[in-house]
């Protein structure tokens, strides 16, 4: 049944809201998981889930063909199994037959229906539709064709083999959505999401509160055969001030808090990154590798002539102590980046000997540059936003001791991004967070075909040897051989000193003592379907 009169849908919607309000009182608040987002979520449409806060929200509402576990291994989701052709170009997915969309009157008298392969055909076509202009369109760049062989078989043909493809499909962009809902709601599907996930949409007051309720027909079960999820609801608030969020968490009004902010890090943590004794009896803290490398990028085509010298670039790399920087400025949260660009947490992590603190060597390199060029007052400019000013000021002080003057230009985040893309910054502070757990995601930004502004090669690094290795690596299906090539490519980039790795970030999660089952993973994905809240005694 398709409703043509929107007035009737509004009436029915109001009835459902009243009904849900009446039911809410029956549920124990102890089974509501509460957390805060600092910035408003702008959409709940998975095709536009490009930032972490949107990914966290849509991960509760939608499913795709596959999912990642906390070890970053690809696991079944709606696809219960799959076969890959010998040439690595054809993927045939066998779908579960018990996955249903969230209940809604748009589905007619049954209020729901089973997901079939054609739903993925529709969802993928929508993702690549130029009129939709989805943020996740690029995920299917390697795809040639896709089709539904029958209701339970979905086949994807690639233009060329691409070993990380399964990991790409785990991204929320590739979630299945129902045509009925998208056709009816149109552009407002962003605020009326209907998926298949463990929770379903209930209420959204933008910039104030977002509520999901348990999907009682969710298809996944735990090891004992109990249907997931365990929680009754998820409630997200939008307090922009991180200090206020911290106080709400300490008072027990939030169940979970992620990351650490300068405004309260010294209240929570010791200088070596441990939870202070005063909090140990009240909250839990877990941390682990995060697929995020914080770095300084050096634009090789910059007008600032100093950065064109590899001696200056290496002096910058050798001229400050990353270990002390992490200990004193980040309370030990993060791993000093004394290896390559590929971060810890990936199997391809390159345990090479990178740039350690060698002040005398840095001074010697600066002096050699002065002698070769006659430039007696060499200087460089680092552009950053205010969030990382303390790190850049530390580098400024330390590197300044080598005879190289370091200037700092503080820009608003949006300006920093735009000027970096347009090649107007000689040295910029950057972060590279993995979209999918394969080191290719870190190396393709150094391929010469990806020069900015049309690609993410903001440094304009170019190497025929690197390009040949990269193009070979994405054809190799053997993980061991591909990872060995990744490490060689990482070493090439580091030898050029085109970047200055600062630290490999960590996922840090704080929860109340009665929360269990949250888990932690290197992509910092928030998965709530296995979370439990015990009663507070």
Q: What is the pTM of this model?
A: 0.86
- Dig out the tokens for 413 from the structure: 């985040």
- The first and second tokens of residue 198, run together, are 């463990």
Alpha-carbon gap, residue 404 to 410, rounded angstroms: 19
- Checking if the pLDDT of 24 tops 70, the result is no
Q: What pLDDT sits at residue 261?
A: 83
- At 305-326, the pLDDT tens digits run 999 999 999 999 999 999 999 9
pLDDT in tens, 440-467: 999 999 999 999 999 999 999 999 999 9
The two structure tokens encoding residue 57: 């929200």
pLDDT band, residue 10 (cuts 50/70/90): very low
Above 60 in pLDDT, residue 426?
A: yes
Sign of CA dihedral 20, 535, 37, 337: negative
- Give CA separation, 391 vs 36, 130, 377, 429, in Å: 26, 41, 23, 10
Q: Is the pLDDT of residue 20 over 70?
A: no
Is 70 exceeded by the pLDDT of residue 296?
Answer: yes
- pLDDT (mean) for 27-41: 87
Alpha helix (H) residue ranges in 99-142: 117-128
Residue range 364-381: mean pLDDT, rounded: 97
Mean pLDDT of the 366-375 span: 96
Residue in the block written with tokens 């399964």: 166
pLDDT of residue 265: 86
- Look at residue 18 in the predicted model and tell me its pLDDT: 38
Percent of the chain with pLDDT over 70: 94
What integer is the mean pLDDT of 54-67? 98
Res 9 pLDDT > 50: no
The share of the chain scoring above pLDDT 90, in percent, equals: 84
Per-residue pLDDT tens for 73-129? Answer: 999 999 999 999 999 999 999 999 999 999 999 999 889 999 999 999 999 999 999
Interstrand relation of 379-384 and 427-433 (parallel, antiparallel or unpaired) = parallel
């Amino acid at each position: 049944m398709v409703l043509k009169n929107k007035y009737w849908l509004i009436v029915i919607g109001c009835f459902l809201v009243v009904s849900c309000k009446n039911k809410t009182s029956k549920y124990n608040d102890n089974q509501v998981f509460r957390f805060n987002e600092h910035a408003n979520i702008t959409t709940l449409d998975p095709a536009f889930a490009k930032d972490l806060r949107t990914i966290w929200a849509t991960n509760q509402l939608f499913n795709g063909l596959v999912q990642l576990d906390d070890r970053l291994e690809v696991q079944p989701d709606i696809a219960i199994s799959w076969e890959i052709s010998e040439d690595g170009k054809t993927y045939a997915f066998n779908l579960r037959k018990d996955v249903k969309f969230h209940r809604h009157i748009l589905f007619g008298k049954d209020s729901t229906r089973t997901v079939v392969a054609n739903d993925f055909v529709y969802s993928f076509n929508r993702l690549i539709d130029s009129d939709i202009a989805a943020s996740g369109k690029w995920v299917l760049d390697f795809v040639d064709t896709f089709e539904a062989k029958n209701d339970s078989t979905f086949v994807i043909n690639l233009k060329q083999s691409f070993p990380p493809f399964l990991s790409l499909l785990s991204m929320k962009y590739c979630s299945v959505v129902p045509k009925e809902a998208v056709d009816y709601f149109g552009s407002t599907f962003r605020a009326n999401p209907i998926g298949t996930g463990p929770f379903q949409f209930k209420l959204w007051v933008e910039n104030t509160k977002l509520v999901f309720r348990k999907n009682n027909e969710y298809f996944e079960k735990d090891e004992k055969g109990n249907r997931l999820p365990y929680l009754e609801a998820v409630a997200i608030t939008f307090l922009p001030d991180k200090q206020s969020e911290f106080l709400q968490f300490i008072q027990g009004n939030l169940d979970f808090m992620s990351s650490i902010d300068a405004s309260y890090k010294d209240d929570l943590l010791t200088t070596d990154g441990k939870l202070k004794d005063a909090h140990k009896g009240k909250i839990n803290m877990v941390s682990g590798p995060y697929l995020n490398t914080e770095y300084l990028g050096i634009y090789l085509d910059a007008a600032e002539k100093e950065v064109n010298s590899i001696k200056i670039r290496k002096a910058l790399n050798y001229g400050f102590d990353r270990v002390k920087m992490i200990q004193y400025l980040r309370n030990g949260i993060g791993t000093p980046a004394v290896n390559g660009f590929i971060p810890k947490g990936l199997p391809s992590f390159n345990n090479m000997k990178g740039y350690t603190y060698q002040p005398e060597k840095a001074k010697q390199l600066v002096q050699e540059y002065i002698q070769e060029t006659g430039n007696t007052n060499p200087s460089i400019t680092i552009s950053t936003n205010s969030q990382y000013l303390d790190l850049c000021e530390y580098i400024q002080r330390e590197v300044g001791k080598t005879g190289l003057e370091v200037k700092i230009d503080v820009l608003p985040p949006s300006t920093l991004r735009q000027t970096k893309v347009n090649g107007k910054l000689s040295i910029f502070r950057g972060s590279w967070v993995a979209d999918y757990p394969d080191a290719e995601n870190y190396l393709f930004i150094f391929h010469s075909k990806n020069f900015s502004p049309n690609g993410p090669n903001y440094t304009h690094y170019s190497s025929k040897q690197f390009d040949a290795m990269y193009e070979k690596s994405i054809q190799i299906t053997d993980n061991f051989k591909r990872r060995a090539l990744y490490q060689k490519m990482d070493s090439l980039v580091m030898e050029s000193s085109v970047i200055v790795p600062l630290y490999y970030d960590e996922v840090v999660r704080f929860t109340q003592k009665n929360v269990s089952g949250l888990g932690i993973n290197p992509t910092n994905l928030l998965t709530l379907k296995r979370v439990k809240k015990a009663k507070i005694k």
